[in-house]
Amino acid sequence: MQDTGKAHPLRRGPLRISGAAALLTFALATTATAPATARSPAPQKYTVVMANMSFGKLPGGVKVGDTIVWVNRDSVPHTATARNKSFDVRVQQGQSVSMVVKKAGSIAFYCIYHPAMRGTLAVAAQ
Ligand SMILES: [Cu+2]
């Protein structure tokens, strides 16, 4: 009896690494129109009426960046002139002038033509 001594080669199946090299090309059409500002509230718009030689009701909650529209309903020109010079708006009779609030604080103002016309605008920082 002969031992043939079978060879048992360890046969490995060919290891096929079918690498799924999938290149995902993202054609992102980002139009980048969204503003980068995180959470700043949208600016507000307020109106202050000049009538009968006085300033009307002043708005509360005004912040830097908000807009104030000064409306002159009198038949003479007026101004809204801040004593700290942070604004100086001239408004002809029957006209209105838009102004963006730039500075925070309790801002006293008056009309240079009629110094008895005065008010104080409370402006909060942004
Ligand atoms: Cu005036």
Q: In what side-by-side order are the strands of the sheet with 105-110?
A: 62-63, 118-124, 105-110, 78-82, 88-91
User: How far is the centre of ligand 1, averaged over its atoms, from the C-alpha of 90 (Å)?
Assistant: 9
Q: Which residue has the tokens 């008056």?
A: 110
Check residue 58 and give its pLDDT: 98
DSSP-based three-state secondary structure for 71: strand
User: How far is the centre of ligand 1, averaged over its atoms, from the C-alpha of 34 (Å)?
Assistant: 42
Mean pLDDT per block of 10 residues along the chain (126 residues) reads 52 51 38 54 95 98 98 98 97 98 97 98 95
End-to-end CA distance of the chain: 102
Report the predicted TM-score, pTM, of the whole model to 2 decimal places: 0.69
User: How far is the centre of ligand 1, averaged over its atoms, from the C-alpha of 19 (Å)?
Assistant: 82
User: How far is the centre of ligand 1, averaged over its atoms, from the C-alpha of 113 (Å)?
Assistant: 5
Which residues, listed in sequence order, are joined to residue 110 by a DSSP beta bridge? 81, 118
